[in-house]
Structure 1
Amino acid sequence: MNSFLLTFLYYLAAIAVVVAGLIIFELLTRKYKDWEEIHSNNVAVALSIAGKIVGTCIILTFSILHNDTIWETVIWGLFGLALQFLAYFLFEVLTPRFSVEQQLKERNTAVGIISCAVSIGLAFVIGASIT
């Protein structure tokens, strides 16, 4: 297949996986609406969402490098996304002194930075394990 066409197809697949992830994260977030918070200049939420976007793209990068088809790339991308959801819930559970969601809603930038770091850091671990 023409490499330009293949690149474009991977690009479209990546956008689809990222958008699917953002939609699911929006549905999973109960205490605020992501895009409303970003629109109102909530940097903490923006950092958290940025980490999810970058993390998903890191996973997709590894997936493209280690798979032969776009279909396999999408499957691994979605699996990585599921692991990112799990990481988000673990972050919430492992911080019993406060609610991550509530702190993000209250514009706690420090929590936004940690949320971003969790998403990006674990994306490298998830990505490296893709074979």
Structure 2
Amino acid sequence: MLSAIFWHHPLIETAGYFSVVILCLFVSMVIFEIVTKYKNWEEIKKGNIAVALATGGKILGVCNIFRYSIEKHTSLVEMLGWGLFGFTLLIFAYLLFEFLTPKFKVDEEIAADNRSVGFISCTISVGLSFVIGASIS
């Protein structure tokens, strides 16, 4: 009985959700690093604002999806499953953005520090995270 109280204490639950989401965020950034043609952290280190915008939008998007998942789902496993499903949709949206812009290559423009494309990428990631989050909750 004491262990049940311990695991359901708000501080313990918060630490658990936080830890799992940080791990998922790390994994999602690795996956985005594989999906994009540029190296996110190398470009950010060089001062590439477009990459920083696009990466920041992805981070905010992933965190927002998990926010919705935490709010709605009562178990850590359920939250994780729906959060990962939402993240998969966000990856799909990024690939769709590249496909739907045949006049230029999104990754090449972001790598070249085209801040307009970086901003649109950020906006798409954040905006769709609200739609994805609402649908998984």
**Shorter-chain TM-score: what band?**
over 0.9
Computing the radius of gyration from Cα coordinates, the structure with the larger value is: 2
Q: Find the counterpart in structure 2 of residue 120 from structure 1.
A: 126
Aligned pair 1:48/2:50, yes or no?
A: no
1:11-26 correspondence to structure 2 within 5 Å: 11-26=18-33
Aligned pair 1:86/2:89, yes or no?
A: no
Q: Which amino acid aligns with 2:75?
A: T
CA distance in 2, matches of 1:43, 1:76: 31
Give the TM-score, by structure 2 length.
0.93
CA distance in 1, matches of 2:21, 2:109: 30
Q: Find the counterpart in structure 2 of residue 105 from structure 1.
A: 111
Q: Find the counterpart in structure 2 of residue 74 from structure 1.
A: 80
User: Percent identity at matched positions?
Assistant: 45
- The CA RMSD measured in Å over matched residues stands at 0.7
Q: Find the counterpart in structure 2 of residue 9 from structure 1.
A: 16
Deviations 1:48-82 (A, max 9, x none): 00000000111011101110111111111111110
Gaps of 5+ in 1: none
Runs of 4+ in structure 1 over 2 Å off:
none
Q: Which amino acid aligns with 1:8?
A: A
Give the TM-score, by structure 1 length.
0.97
